[in-house]
Structure 1
């Protein structure tokens, strides 16, 4: 007899004394104790906005911190009890993940003059150590955040001054706060020679004695750029820029040749850059490159007497490279000269400037590649230039990450390539002869089975409007189909789905699972138009795409409905949870990390610090009725209905500013109240913010995989496939 047949809510069933045995079976017959899920108090609150009205049973959790924390504590107790029978499996998975993880965690080398810098996290430590080496000499410690006095604070960024005698860096004030303080340290002595209480970002001037930095306002927005003499009285500081627009953040940088400091103002849809002479920052005045214009973004680099500007001022909104003369500022966009424009279907993602060449990071047909564009030694147009060279990824790789490559005069650059089945491998590229990437190291770790047995291939789904949606399928050669499937996606902010190597997934592949990565709209896999097409009132296209990928994988025999697990992180949880609402019978389990599942609550709560900034991605329901109507139909929390739900594990940071803890907590409470079956809804929380999971990565991953394996094996009324074939 099931809850659904009786028409009872899950919490009503569990509250019945006669159901103790049934519930103990649901949490694991070896648990040895009964444990009941928390029941959040229902206090209906009505919201009226632009003529629309909706009810929220748990709205009070956004304001009542005591009630929120009490509920989260009870949720942790319940989750720990439910997961306790999986401890042995988790321990085995932990060993497998460690075995599959690359042993050498040292960063890519960063050559700067005669010094080569690198960083690593020492065994048994949590924070980074930066070292440098000259020639064949001994390593010299540049910065050790595990040393006394740093209190193991998380590193924001680190910058080396032009003479390489000082290092400036930012540290998170408290875990998850995303508020930072700055320090300047003498490398030779290790002495901290200046401290900046509020500094989100910083950059040395070329004189080595001055530093420019950004400060954060109460909402965490970088709103000011200030100039400071290192070690002197803060009263002598100078404000270089003060940004009043609440959707615009400031960033301080410099051109790679140390000619200019760059004062960047960026929103989701506009840019404005001022340049300041880095050699005379106190006497020179910031010079505007181009005034901000709605919908136009641009980023600046310098070479000789020319500016190289990456901008989306393009008929299709893609990035191209244009040039301007530094003696003719400010410029109008219409007066710029086109320097590089990529072919249709390709998109420029980033640039890196060097003395000999401009390096473009391009995505072509969904995969990254590099274009090396030789640069003139004089002004642009002086003499015939050699042709550009395109360098493709080595066979089998899907991701390409550039190293820091800080030296303007470098002859070589360093990059790192990986794929879902191949650990990261470091390569060098000769800018004078960029024929191919040359590996820096031999192949490393192996997982539970030989890496050669793991494969990936490209598939495709067709969305509701006819748009083809790419899918990357990862599997073990010889495994059977249909298989249990982990389906993951992101689809937001123009960011590509993560295609890096994840050792925990090998444990799934070894047990006959497949993993599918859906490259849905809202991401950046196919350019900026791919991103724009699933923003604002059109955000539901991300869900349409994910649903199309699910159906394609079933139709092609890879998986079957009812044996699919979803995974969503941050904004990637939005399409995953929305798909669950559409197709609950297709999903056996779901993993959500720091999930944006109460989109409507986040975007209508004025206390959310990033609400104004996020309106550039999701739209503003307080202004647009189209956006509000779209959110009322899309928001996973708002649209939850009572049905037989799958097993769900949710992780949340108590100090998360981007996805406040109340959102996932409300979602867990409503999901459990809507549960008409026997699968658990688990919510786990710990102190920390949106990016605080890395210190617990292996422990969390092993528990996640154990949860998925257990949930799939115990899927209520699951059916075995009638026909199986081999990948």
Structure 2
């Protein structure tokens, strides 16, 4: 084997021409696409050898940070029990074990809504292990649970597992009374499963060759999977299929959606073999979701949608509205919650006695409740009362509420500096009960840290929200980690992280740039960062980086940027545009060969992505635009900062070849001495390694590398200057 301890392996070049719209490009690294090719494996393993040698000096710091994460985490712990049917369900973790156990204990009676007292060190009365992931993971380098579903009567368990990392799951069934596991298994499912109310059937989804969830099946317990009935199939390659059920247990919903269009079909649970019925026709550009509610004794469907707004001349409800229709006449829709340009409605959850509205305003998530018991007739927008918290920069929302008749709403609350809390809110009285605050060992105090929301003016005048987190007393300029994502309308909301403390305590300032393409500021924020406006995502991030430098928060020598998946595309684009601003880039499973991937409809998930990025095959303008920013296409001969590209061989969302080709081209073109590192997990998928201790080890490695590149040295014994 070649020695790659001093230099990375040099990738061979096999020129392959690509011609579209009269433009011919020669790509020397397309051969890397075949992960079964021994040369590809040898290249990746050689790169791993180089990474190990180039970062060997970080091992003591990595070990220290791993120890800090471990020491701050209560390893033997349990979650707050959540009632479903006649049982309280919760999870347990045990010190020394990689995975958790799903467990349950019986409720005391129909009016028992007080969860059992949390006791991590001993079992509760009647406690039963539903599923021990440690047992299921034995003998596997990688393990992931796709879903754990218990039948309504509590007798049966359906669960799915992936031991490769390619997100194709094996569905299995177990009798929770006898402990017997059935011989029948369903291979290559999309993950989750839903039981019929009578526990006779299980509904599940399979994927096509492009890893697109496209078909719903019905399996009858005790029969051969080869006899399963196809319930629904979506032939359009631009649409995904999803599966869910109403909290009322009255309906099973089959959701079909592209990036811009959706349709929902309903199956009454009283007749699980019925054909799915569309609740509203598919209209191009209109998205909607449905929940089932009972108001004044009458059943209704609630449609959260971005369709035409009658009150605004038929313009689309850009930030979504809610319509209502009787369940026996779903076409007879009227406005329930009108469109508000200052509020992005995300969801309406129905319970027997109240409705919960989840929405976004001022770049933060909010939750409001309408108590149906206090309202005569149909609720209005004024009947929804916001659940408020004192902290202005926080995340709050409904969580873990499967029961239709519960008088209490389970709420999750957190911020960048406050550990996650779970509370029960008595909707009738407004009383809040703290059920659990995430335990951070070692004397952690939120008062030692500070968070703030700032606004950066982009080059085009747009105000970009920026979150800043630091330990109090941190002097400027400071080592800084700038994080970004900016795609798919995904929002990076305030959240607490134990591992982040290892950065903050060493004087690193953590900054989130909430760039366009995300969802923080409503639907238009997303629309202005996709397809032919995608470059806004990258220029916003660069503008934030320059602002941090210009205002003295940090310096280019102390600034590291990080993003993953579509955020990895962001990293690749900004380091091409402004390499001089950064001393390090972390790109996890990065979507850096965007143009080549979106040009190939045979690749997993490509066709459905055309509504996110545009279709460069059909549209020369899209082709030219994507070529202008795709990181792999735009690598140039400049002095790049140090780059850490984290890759996974079995990733089906962002194929291994993207990071591999990008790293090879960077290593070939950079004119500087900063190392370009490609670290590939050879037994993992899009989410990286499995098992909490393995994940902590990987996190500790990444944080050690970041500390090296920011020059942070404020903890005794941490001399990690770049």
Find the counterpart in structure 2 of residue 306 from structure 1: 300
1:73-472 correspondence runs (5 A): 73-101=45-73, 103=75, 106-134=78-106, 135=108, 137-147=125-135, 153-172=143-162, 174-193=163-182, 194-200=184-190, 201-234=192-225, 236-282=227-273, 284-304=274-294, 305-313=299-307, 314=309, 315-329=316-330, 331=331, 335-341=332-338, 343-375=340-372, 381=377, 387-395=383-391, 398-400=394-396, 402-434=398-430, 437-441=432-436, 444-446=439-441, 450-472=445-467
- Cα deviation, residue 288, structure 1: 1.6
2:22 corresponds to 1:51: yes
Name the CA distance, whole Å, in 2 between partners of 1:615 and 1:385.
36
Residue of 699, 706, 710 corresponding to 1:708: 706
Residue of 614, 628, 634 corresponding to 1:633: 628
2:532 corresponds to 1:537: yes
Name the CA distance, whole Å, in 2 between partners of 1:383 and 1:545.
40
Find the counterpart in structure 1 of residue 680 from structure 2: 685
Q: Which consecutive residues of structure 2, in runs of 5 or more, have no partner in the other structure? A: 109-115, 117-124, 310-315, 714-722
Three-state SS of the structure 2 residue aligned to 1:575 is helix
Find the counterpart in structure 2 of residue 584 from structure 1: 579
1:16-38 CA-to-partner distances (Å, cap 9, x unmatched) read: xxxx9xxxxxxxxxxxx962221
Name the CA distance, whole Å, in 1 between partners of 2:578 and 2:233.
48
- Cα deviation, residue 181, structure 1: 2.0
Name the CA distance, whole Å, in 2 between partners of 1:83 and 1:47.
37
1:439-477 CA-to-partner distances (Å, cap 9, x unmatched) read: 213563156874421111111112222111000011111
Name the CA distance, whole Å, in 1 between partners of 2:674 and 2:598.
30
Contact persistence 1:374–1:385 (CA under 8 A): no
Name the CA shift for 1:120/1:112 in 2 (closer, same or farther; >3 Å).
Answer: same
Name the CA shift for 1:169/1:404 in 2 (closer, same or farther; >3 Å).
Answer: farther
Name the CA shift for 1:235/1:591 in 2 (closer, same or farther; >3 Å).
Answer: closer
Three-state SS of the structure 2 residue aligned to 1:503 is coil
- Cα deviation, residue 699, structure 1: 0.7
Find the counterpart in structure 2 of residue 501 from structure 1: 496
The size of the alignment, in residue pairs, is 677
Contact persistence 2:150–2:156 (CA under 8 A): yes
Residue of 548, 554, 557 corresponding to 1:559: 554
Name the CA shift for 1:316/1:488 in 2 (closer, same or farther; >3 Å).
Answer: same
- Cα deviation, residue 312, structure 1: 1.8
TM-score, structure 2 as length reference: 0.89
Name the CA shift for 1:383/1:527 in 2 (closer, same or farther; >3 Å).
Answer: closer
- Cα deviation, residue 533, structure 1: 1.2
Contact persistence 2:364–2:493 (CA under 8 A): no
1:369-399 CA-to-partner distances (Å, cap 9, x unmatched) read: 2111233799x94699992211124426522
Find the counterpart in structure 1 of residue 517 from structure 2: 522
Name the CA distance, whole Å, in 2 between partners of 1:149 and 1:79.
28
- Cα deviation, residue 525, structure 1: 0.7
Name the CA distance, whole Å, in 2 between partners of 1:443 and 1:659.
33
Name the CA shift for 1:43/1:260 in 2 (closer, same or farther; >3 Å).
Answer: same
Cα RMSD over matched residues? Answer: 2.6
Name the CA distance, whole Å, in 2 between partners of 1:712 and 1:234.
55
Higher RCO by CA contacts (8 Å cutoff, separation 6 or greater)? 1
Contact persistence 1:108–1:414 (CA under 8 A): no
Contact persistence 1:323–1:338 (CA under 8 A): yes
Contact persistence 2:366–2:386 (CA under 8 A): yes
TM-score, structure 1 as length reference: 0.88
